[in-house]
Amino acid sequence: MLNKPRLLTPGPTPLPERVRLVLAQDMIHHRKPAFKKLLLETEERLKTLFGTSQPVIPLSCSGTGAMTAAVHSLFLPGEKVIVVNGGKFGERWTKIAEVHGLEVVEIRIPWGQTVSVAQLEETLRHNPDAKGVFVQLCETSTGAQHPVEALARLTRTRDVLLIADGISAVGISPCPMDTWGIDCLLTGSQKGLMVPPGLALIAFSERAWKKIRTVPASCFYFNMEGEEKNLLKGQGLFTSPVNLLLGLHESLTMIDENGGLEAIYRKQWALTCMVRTGVRALDLELFAPKHYAWGVTSILLPSGVDGKKLLSVAETEYGVIFAGGQDDYAGRMVRFGHMGWVDWADVTAGLHALYRSLKAAGGYVASRDYLEQALDAYHRALDVEPGRIIPEARS
């Protein structure tokens, strides 16, 4: 069928037309004045996005590259770190740290759940020599959102750095780095920022920079001191992803023109309420029932439903592309992305595709007014007074 394709995965996400047109512009040189102007203008907006007064460094890599840069820049081989492992990407922190020769102590969390402050406090008590804590803001494999603000209240009173993977959170849900006390925050371009993959962004707190200056560079490419010095001149240390930075400049301009971060967070919270209400109306199980992300909703499928068939039907018959589960949840989960250039109409189409595909894959659906319930939840969430959305959504 000639359906409009709708990319509702947890990354990459759809691109606005304005960004696509900017990406098609003629190339400019990464050492010339036009690029320097672009990068310095973008840098000021990135500081607002991250909520920091510190530099936000663009890197030519995926989000995993930024994770690698954080590990190599902040820690010496042999140092002890704590990793919150509650999914595929928490596991990735462990793997990167071990490759660098760090001693890793894991806090293992069942998939779909989140770490508690008490768990971290106890782990720190038993490991007073730990130098860092690694965590996801949003664990993309499960749709769970760790309480990073509360964790940071604990770590910032100790001689331990908090490193947060915000790849599925920056530009999606609040994570003001300086206010919360996050020591390293990183993200990728392909999710909330509405830009193709290939560009990562990373920022460090003042005390993280102090630690960086004591750690000899262990990676030629991910040299944060070198990147910092070049950024002050409007350049990258190596060849910059020029067109991706042009796209990022345009997407940040769009955010500024449309109400800034408060408007983005309001929209994301409303879409989250819409998806979760629609899923519950279909009598499906939300995989992260309590502490959940604002950009991806993970849905556990009933026994007997063929998850691979559901994904295939949604794409081929309705033009909606979801993501499946990972590891033990492959074929048993749908991950419904609603971040970046996604609006209520896309989510409506996604819920309808989920409904129809669920029936085709062997599932039973009792509710027929799931769209009405979902849209009502969306509009009620939009009506929350400015400033109240954040505390309500954290509960």
Reported as a single tens digit per residue, the pLDDT across 157-213 is 999 999 999 999 999 999 999 999 999 999 999 999 999 999 999 999 999 999 999
Q: What is the model's pLDDT at position 393?
A: 39
Q: Say what the pLDDT of residue 387 is.
A: 52
| CA pair distance 160, 172, nearest whole angstrom | 27
CA–CA dist 28, 300 (Å, integer): 47
State how far the alpha carbon of 90 is from the alpha carbons of 69, 130, 138, 298, in Å: 16, 17, 10, 17
User: Residue 248: pLDDT band by 50, 70, 90 thresholds?
Assistant: very high
Lowest mean pLDDT among 32-46, 218-232, 312-326, 356-370: 356-370
Give me the pLDDT at residue 2, please: 79
Provide the pairing of β-strand 296-300 with 333-337: antiparallel
Alpha-carbon gap, residue 179 to 252, rounded angstroms:
21
202-245 pLDDT, tens digit per residue, is 999 999 999 999 999 899 999 999 999 999 999 999 999 999 99
Domains in the chain: boundaries: 6-12+260-394, 17-256
HEC assignment per residue over 300-356:
ECCCCCCHHHHHHHHHHHHCEECEECCHHHCCCEEEEECCCCCCHHHHHHHHHHHHH
Q: Structure tokens of 208?
A: 């993280």
At residue 324, φ and ψ (nearest 5 deg) are -95, -175
From 3.30.2020.30, 3.40.50.2300, 3.40.640.10, 1.10.443.10, which CATH number describes the 17-256 domain?
Answer: 3.40.640.10
CATH entry, 6-12+260-394, from 2.60.120.650, 3.90.1150.10, 3.40.50.2300, 3.40.50.880: 3.90.1150.10
pLDDT at 394: 38
Radius of gyration of the chain (CA): 21
How far apart are alpha carbons 353 and 318 in whole angstroms?
A: 6
